[in-house]
Amino acid sequence: MLRIISYITYVILLFIAQNLCAQAAQEKDSSEIRTRERVLKAIDEEKERVVREEKSRLKKEVEFIRELETKGEITKEEAQNRKEEKARRTALNIENKLAVLENKRALVERGEEKGWEYLRGATLGIGIGSNYDGNGSRLIGIQFENVRKDKKYDRRTYSNIVVALGFNNALIEGESLNDSPYKTGGSRFFELGWQWKTRILKNSNAVRVSYGLSFQSNGLKPESNQYFEKEGEITRLKTYPYDLKKSKFRQDNLVVPVFFEFGPSKRTDYDDYFRYSTRKKINVGIGGYAGINLTSRQKLKYTSEGRTSREKIKDDYNTNNFVYGLAAYAGIGGSSLYLKYDLNPVFKSPNIKQNNISLGLRFEL
C-alpha cells in the first residue's frame, strides 16, 4: 500500500513539475516578447532624441557664431562658412547615427541582440541558470539589465570629496605667532567634506563657485607641561601637577564653505556633449566658511608614581558655539596649498582673544 501511495505521489509531482516548466517557458517567451517591444520602442525614441539633440547643438553653435560676428571677432563671410560647415557636420552626424540605430533595430527584431543598453530604466528578473553577454547578466538566478543614462549636453555642476590636513596654531591678541604657547608641529587640523562646483559663465569656465558641507577638526597642543582648565567663564593654560606626555585640545566643527574659484580650463567637444577640464591647470580659490561647534575636548596622558594614565575630558571650555572664517587655496588640478583663519575667537569673552589659523594641503578627490 505504501509503495502504491509513493507511485501516485511521484506521478502527481511529475505532472505538477511539467506544468510548472511549461508555464515558466510560456512566461519566459512572453517576457522576452515584452522586453523586445520595449527595446524597439526605446530605439525609436533614441532616433528621435538624436535628431533633437543634434539640431539643438547646431542651434547653440550658430548662436555662438553670431555672437562672434556681432562682436567683430570674425567677418560675415567667415561666419557664413562656419555655419555651413556646422550644418554639414550635423547632417552627417544624424545620418550616421540613425544608420547605426536602424542596424541595431534590425538585429533586435531578429533576436540576434537584446539591446538592453537602450532601456531607460533598470530591470530586475528572477531566472534559472546563468549567462553573460554585453548588455546584462544573470547570476545565481537573478538577472540584471543595464541602465542607460543620457549625457547632458552642458554639465555645469560637479561634485566631489574634499580632504584637507596640515598644521594649526592660534594668533593671540597682543602676541606674535613666534610667542605661541602651542607646539607648531604637534598642533594640526583635519577637514573632510563634500562640495559642489558650478560654472558661473555661459561660454567660459574661468570662474566657478564651490559650496558644500565639511567637518573640521582643529587641534592645539600646549607646550611646557600645560593644559586647559576652566574656571567659571575663564579658560586658561595652567601647569599640570604631573609629567604630561601628551596634552591636546580639540574642537570639532560642522561648517558650510563657499569659494569663488578662478583659473583656466580645457574644453573638449564630443559628438553630443562637451566638457571642461581643470586637470593639470592652475586654480585659485577665495572664500570662507560658517557653521557650528560640535564638541570641544581635551586629551591628557601623564605619568604619576611610575604609572601612565590617560584622561579624556569633554566640556564646552567656554568656546564659541558659532564658527566662521576666511579661507583660500592655490594649486594645480585637484591638489592645492590651503590657508584658513577663524574670525571668531576660540574662547568667549572675557577670555583673551585667540583665533585658529591653519596651513596645509587640500585635495579634491
pLDDT at residue 102, rounded to an integer: 84
pLDDT at residue 116, rounded to an integer: 63
SS3 sequence, the chain?
CHHHHHHHHHHHHHHHHHHHHHHHHHHHHHHHHHHHHHHHHHHHHHHHHHHHHHHHHHHHHHHHHHHHHHCCCCCHHHHHHHHHHHHHHHHHHHHHHHHHHHHHHHHHHCCCCCCHHHCCCCEEEECCCCEECCCEEEECCEEEECCCCCCCCECCEEEEEEEEEEEEEEEECCCCHHHCCECCCCCEEEEEEEEEEEECCCCCCCEEEEEEEEEEEEEECECCCEEEEEECCEEEEEECCCEEEEEEEEEEEEEEEEEEEECCCEEEECCCCEEEECCCCEEEEEEEEEEEEEEEEEEEEEEECCEEEEEEEECCCCECCEEEEEEEEEEECCEEEEEEEECCCCECCCCCCEEEEEEEEEEEC
pLDDT at residue 141, rounded to an integer: 47
pLDDT at residue 270, rounded to an integer: 78
pLDDT at residue 62, rounded to an integer: 85
pLDDT at residue 196, rounded to an integer: 94
pLDDT at residue 130, rounded to an integer: 39
Q: Is the pTM of this model over 0.85?
A: no
pLDDT at residue 13, rounded to an integer: 61
pLDDT at residue 128, rounded to an integer: 43
Written as tens digits, the pLDDT of the chain (365 aa) is: 555 665 566 556 665 656 555 555 555 456 677 777 787 788 888 888 888 888 888 888 888 888 888 888 888 888 888 888 888 888 888 888 888 888 878 877 777 776 766 666 544 444 444 343 434 444 444 544 445 556 778 888 989 999 999 999 999 888 888 888 888 888 999 999 999 999 998 888 899 999 999 999 999 999 888 888 888 888 888 888 888 888 899 999 999 999 999 999 888 887 678 888 888 899 999 999 999 999 999 998 888 777 888 888 888 888 999 999 999 999 998 899 999 999 999 998 888 899 999 999 999 98
